[in-house]
Structure 1
């Protein structure tokens, strides 16, 4: 009798295991990888002279911004990191604005600038925002004002201190400036004992006055490093951060919702309706498409983007892109698609 019971238990366990295996197989079949071909819309090589270098590219709601430096001398430290805040000699930059089809709208020459910039953006008031990701604090009278705003003639209109360790910059529909911070900007470096970026995410108005900063609600940790940020077409702010890596939504009334992602180390974030596209964590090269279903974030498929030569456009090529727009930079070519194209 005892042997019969053990045999029945074994049969049940094997049957359950087979069901789980079949469920896993079906899950793998559903959660497959889909490839999408993306065409280049701009070849920046046509805009470059021999000593020019592309410093930053961003895609906003209505256009594409490119910043070109005309001499990269003293721009980087010997190990290639963006650590030099200012160079000893002034240099010239060119800002170029394109529409989303790749047509050049205008270009602006910014002359005799000492700052080394890492982020380029365009404000709704037709002003150019350039931000150096680093800022040194020497004393209360000597702080690098690393956010600088120019008119279309290349004249400096105003500047302000945006803090050290800036990870990313986005402009919302009202023209407010959102800056996120990596760990050094949150915990302090370059003389900052009380860093501006301690919260991890700050909103500034167009004049550089702080109007909001992140405070975690119940269920959320403080930020140690903001890995990704974006703004959707309804002006909701989305962000994703270390250590627990939640996906967080801040709506227009400053109410917060969040979802567990079960993915660590993603470096990009695109939003459209209830769809979320993120880079595939620390180890993956491509992207994962999620669907928001109530309080759950469901993985639906892996996404691989390829160019006209069937080369991967992965997270290393990704450029800061607003909302549903998805931009890449590869060999001086700008590629653009959007989440409507991902079926």
Structure 2
């Protein structure tokens, strides 16, 4: 159960270590990492990061991510499940500058955040699905200028799009879109705004809309709330309680954690929040990996991966 709100200086949440660092082989570099709604982790790695993060010349002399690397680029997926890491060699790396997300049944989604350039034209299909054996299964379009890709526990895909992608035919002036696992569009916000910090779980999605609005999407209906925190880049939710990462003051540090509550249709900031390990020691070097429901997944550099469940992992206050 989430703690009762009181006047405190800081509430602390326990970040439990749930996975060790991915066992990269000598010469391998991490390209992307993710966590899914059930606590699985995955890391995409390669021995040729310069190729995996390469660009090609676009039609106007600009530099763009490419579709299908100009030469073979080895790619391996490391997946953490049942308490151990396993390695899967992917058939090929289809796009440069990829991000990944885990789909049901052992599938992995590899996405170029920008619509890639083939050398002769644009390639709409910037999303590729690989099976648990590493074989390429299907490809489809998820729109241009993606800021974030999240897969919820139903296996549907949520994408947030920046302003340069709104006019793309697949985006159609929606900052937030929901798709099925085959790339069929299920819902779009219909609002050309920068949405980010997407949390999708159990049919409910939250996001931060530039400049200072939190939005909640349930069964295709969107509600908007003034945000007490600026520049939110992570949201975790337990009922009417929220933990958000952003700047308490406009222009302030962007990694401050705030404990908030939805009261009478208004989201109020109650107090500052912190993250500690199981021994109560503060954890300061962390990066947000994913948000699913009440769970915040973190990459703790050097110590692997951690999870904060705001509905359960409360340490106390100081």
Partners of 1:75 and 1:116 within 8 A in 2 = yes
User: Please, what is the CA RMSD of the aligned residues?
Assistant: 2.9
1:70 aligns with 2:70: no
Distance 2:52 2:19 in 1: 25
1:205 aligns with 2:171: no
Match of 1:19 in 2: none
Match of 1:269 in 2: 235
Q: CA deviation at 1:34?
A: 3.0
1:299 aligns with 2:263: no
1:179 aligns with 2:155: no
Distance 2:276 2:50 in 1: 33
**Structure holding more strand per residue:** 2
- The 3-state SS of whatever aligns with 2:164 is helix
- The 3-state SS of whatever aligns with 1:184 is helix
Structure 1 residues 110, 273: closer, same or farther in 2, change over 3 A? Answer: same
Q: Kindly indicate whether structure 1 or structure 2 has the higher relative contact order, using CA contacts under 8 Å at least 6 residues apart.
A: 2
Partners of 2:95 and 2:116 within 8 A in 1 = no
- The 3-state SS of whatever aligns with 1:115 is coil
- The 3-state SS of whatever aligns with 1:126 is coil
Partners of 1:75 and 1:84 within 8 A in 2 = no
Match of 2:70 in 1: 88
Match of 2:3 in 1: none
Match of 2:306 in 1: 335
Cα deviation code 1:272-314 (max 9, x no counterpart): 1111111132523221111111311111221122457744045
Q: CA deviation at 1:121?
A: 1.7
TM-score normalised according to structure 2 size: 0.81
Distance 2:43 2:172 in 1: 25
Aligned residue among 141, 147, 160 for 1:167 = 147
Match of 1:218 in 2: none
Q: CA deviation at 1:48?
A: 0.8
1:42 aligns with 2:42: no
Partners of 1:286 and 1:305 within 8 A in 2 = no
Runs of 5+ in structure 2 lacking a partner?
1-5, 56-62
Cα deviation code 1:234-277 (max 9, x no counterpart): 3111111113x21111112x222221113221111111111111
Distance 1:338 1:181 in 2: 27
1:312 aligns with 2:293: no
Count of matched residue positions in the alignment of Structure 1 and Structure 2: 293
Match of 2:137 in 1: 157
- The 3-state SS of whatever aligns with 2:165 is helix
Structure 1 residues 195, 298: closer, same or farther in 2, change over 3 A? Answer: same
- The 3-state SS of whatever aligns with 1:61 is coil
Q: CA deviation at 1:180?
A: 0.8
Match of 1:247 in 2: 214
Distance 1:129 1:240 in 2: 24
